[in-house]
């Protein structure tokens, strides 16, 4: 989940927000979007590489590798009879487990809206008639050791996602663009990326949450947040500075969320590199 990790790192600057007003403020009541509260009854079963997955199952499996092997993963097929939200939760006895869901030919997995960590949990907007590949990879640190894992596939529910009363699961599409220029160089490097991310928002206590990482906000109005930050650091022969501006807006009627950000990072060592970037979010409350 490299893109997710990158975005969660950028979210770490969400530490202090300054107040602002809004002339298009709306009352925020997202409770209508909460969806299924309690997890359906799950059927226990075992799985092996290549097996199909079915809705509302809790699967167990295992992986091991020989000393000469490196990349070990299990890939399963999954489809639904009716379009809807599905939660998948991968845990293992290893220190790291990674879950990806994609349609063959679209390995970037833009249907993936999840949070990584030692284990992995995600929400999939599954479309009826589409067959998805579900890829489970486990960090197999020691050869000839059997690592057990569990994979829950269920109708998306707040219980499985461990959402508190005022927490909501957001599905976000993110686009990033960054232009970097090095002093005394004619080269201009442009970096662009786009991906999807799942993140939890608490509308009362005002924070984003990704797993056990919290990014606290200050509520500026019922539906808007604004962030401005300017920081510098340095030492003998080096210096860094950053300027960041965020504007986040919630729509209480549609459950949509938008965020626009601009930032500048300057690093000086033997030469100076200046990077200007923009980031945009668009998405909705899913659960």
Higher pLDDT, 6 or 280: 280
pLDDT digits (tens, 9 = 90+) for 247-257: 888 888 888 98
pLDDT of residue 107: 55
Q: Of the given ranges (69-73, 116-120, 202-206), which has the lowest mean pLDDT?
A: 116-120
Q: Is the pLDDT of residue 153 over 50?
A: yes
Kindly indicate the confidence band of residue 75, based on its pLDDT and cuts at 50, 70 and 90. very high
Within the chain, residue ranges assigned H as helices are 2-11, 158-161
pTM of the model: 0.78
Beta strands in the chain (DSSP E): 43-46, 52-53, 57-63, 73-78, 84-92, 97-102, 112-115, 120-126, 132-138, 147-155, 167-182, 188-202, 207-210, 213-216, 224-235, 238-250, 256-268, 272-285
The span from the CA of 44 to the CA of 58, in Å, is 5
Kindly indicate the confidence band of residue 270, based on its pLDDT and cuts at 50, 70 and 90. confident
pLDDT of residue 118: 58
The span from the CA of 99 to the CA of 114, in Å, is 9
pLDDT digits (tens, 9 = 90+) for 174-206: 899 999 999 877 788 999 988 778 888 888 888
Candidates 19, 78, 68, 24; CA nearest to 47 is 78
Q: What angle do CA 43, 130, 5 make, to 5 degrees?
A: 80
The span from the CA of 126 to the CA of 282, in Å, is 19
Q: Is the pLDDT of residue 76 over 90?
A: yes
CATH topology of domain 43-156: Jelly Rolls (2.60.120)
Mean pLDDT over 41-65 rounds to: 95
For all residues of the chain together, what is the average pLDDT? Answer: 82
Kindly indicate the confidence band of residue 108, based on its pLDDT and cuts at 50, 70 and 90. low
Kindly indicate the confidence band of residue 26, based on its pLDDT and cuts at 50, 70 and 90. low
Mean pLDDT over 116-126 rounds to: 77
Structure tokens at 115: 């949070």
CB neighbours of residue 231 within 10 Å: 11
Q: Is the pLDDT of residue 95 over 70?
A: yes
Kindly indicate the confidence band of residue 143, based on its pLDDT and cuts at 50, 70 and 90. confident
The span from the CA of 122 to the CA of 102, in Å, is 12
Kindly indicate the confidence band of residue 105, based on its pLDDT and cuts at 50, 70 and 90. low
The domain locations on the chain are 2-33+163-285, 43-156
Structure tokens at 80: 């639904």
Q: Is the pLDDT of residue 77 over 80?
A: yes
Higher pLDDT, 22 or 105: 105
Q: Is the pLDDT of residue 109 over 70?
A: no
**Measured CA distances, 163 to 26, 71, 125, 181, 209 (Å):** 24, 34, 18, 43, 10
pLDDT of residue 221: 80
The residue count of the chain comes to 287
Higher pLDDT, 72 or 55: 55
Candidates 243, 253, 229; CA nearest to 274 is 243
Q: Is the pLDDT of residue 166 over 60?
A: yes
Top mean pLDDT of 106-110, 196-200, 219-223 is at 196-200
Q: Is the pLDDT of residue 47 over 50?
A: yes
């Amino acid at each position: 989940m490299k893109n997710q990790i990158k975005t969660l790192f950028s979210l770490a600057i969400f530490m202090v927000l300054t107040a602002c007003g809004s002339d298009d403020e709306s009352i925020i009541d997202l409770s209508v979007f909460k969806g299924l509260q309690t997890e359906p009854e799950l059927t226990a079963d075992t799985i092996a590489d290549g097996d199909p997955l079915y809705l509302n199952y809790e699967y167990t499996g295992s992986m091991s590798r020989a000393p000469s092997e490196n990349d070990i993963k299990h890939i399963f097929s999954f489809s639904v009879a009716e379009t809807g939200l599905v939660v998948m939760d991968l845990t293992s006895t290893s220190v790291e487990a990674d879950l990806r869901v994609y349609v063959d030919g679209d390995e970037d997995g833009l249907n993936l809206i999840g949070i990584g960590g030692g284990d992995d949990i995600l929400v999939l907007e599954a479309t009826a008639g589409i067959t998805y590949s579900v890829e489970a990879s486990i960090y197999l640190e020691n050869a000839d050791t059997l690592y057990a894992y569990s994979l829950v596939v269920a109708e998306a529910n707040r219980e499985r996602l461990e959402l508190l009363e005022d927490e909501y699961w957001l599905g976000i599409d993110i686009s990033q663009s960054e232009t970097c220029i090095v002093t005394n160089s004619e080269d201009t490097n442009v970096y662009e990326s786009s991906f999807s991310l799942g993140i939890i928002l608490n509308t009362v206590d005002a924070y984003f949450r990704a797993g056990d990482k919290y990014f606290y906000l200050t509520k500026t109005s019922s539906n808007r947040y604004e962030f401005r930050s300017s920081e510098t650091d340095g030492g003998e022969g080096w210096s860094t500075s950053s300027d960041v501006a965020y504007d986040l807006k919630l729509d209480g009627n549609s459950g949509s969320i938008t965020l626009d950000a601009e930032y500048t990072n300057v690093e000086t060592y033997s030469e100076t590199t200046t990077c200007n970037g923009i980031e945009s979010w668009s998405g909705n409350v899913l659960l």
